[in-house]
Every structure is written in C-alpha cells, then in structure tokens.
Structure 1
Amino acid sequence: MPRNILFGLIAAVAAALGLAVGAMLLQPKSITIASGTLLQTPRALPAFSLTDQDGQLFDNARLNGHWTLVFAGFTYCPDICPGTLTLLKAVKAKLGPEAAKLQVLFLSVDPARDTPERLKSYVQFFDPTFLAATAPDAELEKLARGMSFVYAKVPGATPDSYTMDHSTALMLVNPQGQLAGFFTAPLKADSLSADLKTILGNG
C-alpha cells in the first residue's frame, strides 16, 4: 500500500477515535436517584412571566445558573404545602455548602388570593431564602403544561372558601433552565437530600 494512502487511513482512524472519545467525555454522567426520576433528556420550558414575592418579574432567566426545586401549591393549603416547605427547609440544612447551588421556588396556583405580600410572608416563615411567585391563570396553565403538573379549583360553600387541588411532586430545573426531573411522594428529608447532593455534586 502506498505510504501516502496508509498515512491517510491512519489519520482517518485517529480522527474517528478522537470524535468517539470526545462524545463519551461530553455525555452527561448517569445518575440514579431514589426519590424520583431524572429525565434522560432535559426538557426546555416555555417562555413564562411570573411575579415574585417582591413584586418583581420572575421569568426563565431567573432559573439560569443554579438548580431550582419548584413546588406548586397555595398559601391557604391546610397541610401538604406547609408540610412540604418544612421538609425542604430540613433538606437545605442537610445539604450543607451544596445548598448554595440550589434555590427553592414556591409557585402559587391561587393568584386571586396569593398576592406578592402574602407569598413573601408565607415562604419566609419557613426559610428566608425561599422564593415565591405566581401569575394569571393563562400564564400558570402554560407553565403547568411545560412542567407536567396539574391543578384545579375546587368550589367551597362560599365564593371565597374554595380550595385548590394540585400536584405534590417537586420539579427539578437544571442550571440551563430546563426541566430535569421530578421528586415524588413519599418525600423523605434524608433520601431527598442524599439525591440532591449527588445531583449538585455532578452538576
């Protein structure tokens, strides 16, 4: 075989091997968690516009650069919401220094009653670092579809005594602002914090 052809074949094989090794190195590490499910391919979220607990805009950009746990609920919730926020306070304490990589967002599905002032008072009771936001129903419904959670208004005896049914899962958003997975009931502080340490340590 002529030397120039041989050198060409060697170069082609080396290039192919280099591409294969590069692809392997660029693949995300496989992570297994006990408290829920990580998406094999993170899902882009639709553009959204919420109002946070300080009356400021909370949009997709606020999700970039850190991991975010999103919990959908409402401040008049009698048990699930306060119980979950209490759990998340304990989880953040167990994360230690890794907690700096994570933000918690309480997403109210009751915009008629959950004003920014009420949301701020509510979440800060559990942890002053927790964020809260809400939006008109049309905006919430768009985000609910993108994040795969559901909610519905349940009428009460009077127009103001309604309640809200809602998903209890925690939604995990990665530092690129993509839906990365879900943590599902029953949620336990020890297992959830262990899973988050693994994710945050690899992210």
Structure 2
Amino acid sequence: MKPTKAIIIGVIAALAALAGLVVAQLMLTDRGIEVSSGTLLKQPRSIEAFTLRDTSGAPFDNSRLAGQWSLVFAGFTFCPDVCPNTLGVLKSLKAKLDEAQAPLQVVFVSVDPERDSLDRLGTYVHYFDPRFVGVTGDVAELEKLARSMSLVFAKVPGTTPDSYTMDHSSALVLINPQGQVFGYFLPPHRLDALAADLVSLIRSPS
C-alpha cells in the first residue's frame, strides 16, 4: 500500500470519529447532572453482542460490562504516545475514584490482535494498574464492539510487514451498569474535571 493510501485511511478514521462526536454532541443528556469534561447521551445505547478474551484467557463479553460503571479505551501496546499517556491518566483517575469510593472498571481493548498476545497485553496494561482489564480477540469481534461504541480503528502498513501501526479513536467510552454506552470523554483529559464528573455520575441515583 502506498503512503498516500495510509494517509487516506487515517483521514477516514478521523472523519468517522468526528462524525461520532457530532452525533454524541447532538444527544446531550437531560438528567440533571452536568459534566464539564465529556458528553452524555440522551438515550443510552445498547452494545451488540460480542466475545473477546481477557489477559487470563477468560471470555470477555457483554456480561462483563454489566453491574458496574466502566470506562473503555481502545488502542494497542505498540502505540508510541496516545495509549501510554491515556493509561497514565486512567491510573491517576482510578486512584482518585478509589479515594472517593466511586468504583470504576477500566477496560483497555487492543485493536492489534496480530501482535498483542494475551501475555504481552497483560504485562502492558498491568504495568499501569493491576486492576485494569486488558482484552482483545478476533478482528470481527473487535469491529462489533467498535461499531457499537462509535469507535474506529484501521491498520496502516509500514515499510516492513511488522512495522505497521494502528489508527484508532482516542475517546474514553463510558458504560453504565446496564452495559450500555452512556457517554464519551475526549482528549485532552483534565484529570480533576474527569474525576469530579465520574464521581457525580457513579454516586448519582439512576
């Protein structure tokens, strides 16, 4: 694939992510809770049935997103900056929420199953926090989840077969205890504002 095609793929991915953001912005919630660091959907959206694997090899499906609040972030372990930076923010965020007694599950979805084995993924994600959940699986299943969450990802070839990279959405997807898409938080992430918003949401009666 020529470099120009790789650029086109990246542009398409960016436009798709932007389109998803516009839709989300048009669906602001009217729940009486204001958030300063993200956007809540007026109507939570169901997630298509999917099955991935966590780093222990156990199935990770819709049931693992039910019964608790979750933040889902998609990326890959070879990501040079966005992924480690975001996971660093999530590590600090989890500490703040723990102090506020606002439980939150953090899920990192690798969209690069070709290189990200479960062992590699586990080492990577648990470096930031042993409680973070790392998951990946077949591309078809990853696409199901991405589609339901209005996320995009695409493989961008490099100069050699092993030097490719992955374009992917950088949004944090908020999942409610019913296992539905509830909102989005886009970078740059302001830690204190993000923590305050999530504490209010998690503690609010629903």
TM-score, scaled to structure 1: 0.84
Structure showing greater radius of gyration is 1
The structure where helix makes up a greater share of residues is 1
Q: Does 1:111 align with 2:110?
A: no
CA–CA distance in 1 between the matches of 2:89 and 2:112? 22
Asked if the contact 1:93–1:99 (Cα under 8 Å) also holds between the matched residues in 2, the reply is no
Note the residue ranges of structure 2 that are not aligned, 5 or more in a row: 1-29
Are the counterparts in 1 of residues 71 and 174 from structure 2 also a CA contact under 8 Å? yes
Q: 1:33, 1:195 within 8 Å by CA — same for their partners in 2?
A: yes
Q: RMSD across aligned C-alpha pairs, in angstroms? A: 1.3
- Count residues with an aligned counterpart: 176
Out of 163, 182, 185, the position equivalent to 1:183 is 185
Partner of 2:64: 62
Distance 1:50 1:70 in 2: 14
Distance in 2 between residues matched to 1:49 and 1:68, nearest whole Å: 17
Question: What pairs with 1:141-152 in structure 2 (closer than 5 Å)?
Answer: 141-152=143-154
SS of alignment partner, residue 30 of structure 1: coil
Structure 1 residue 101 displacement after superposition: 2.0
C-alpha distance in 2, partners of 1:55/1:116?
Answer: 7
Q: Percent identity?
A: 58
Residue equivalent to 1:154: 156
Distance in 2, Cα, partners of 1:158 & 1:120: 26
Describe the superposition over 1:73-131 as per-residue Cα deviations: whole angstroms up to 9, x where unpaired. Answer: 00000000000000001111112344552100000000111111111100110001000
In 2, the alpha carbon distance for the partners of 1:74 and 1:60 equals 21
Q: How far apart are residue 40 of structure 1 and its match?
A: 0.7
Mark the runs of 5 or more structure 1 residues left unpaired by the alignment.
1-27
The amino acid that maps onto 1:147 is M
- Give the equivalent residue in structure 2 for 1:192: 194
Asked whether the equivalents of residues 65 and 176 of structure 1 are also in contact (C-alpha less than 8 Å), the reply is yes
Q: Provide the rounded CA distance (Å) in 1 between the counterparts of 2:182 and 2:59.
A: 23
Work out which of the residue numbers 48, 72, 75 in structure 1 matches 2:74: 72
- 3-state SS, counterpart of residue 165 of structure 1: strand
- What is the aligned partner in structure 2 of residue 170 from structure 1? 172
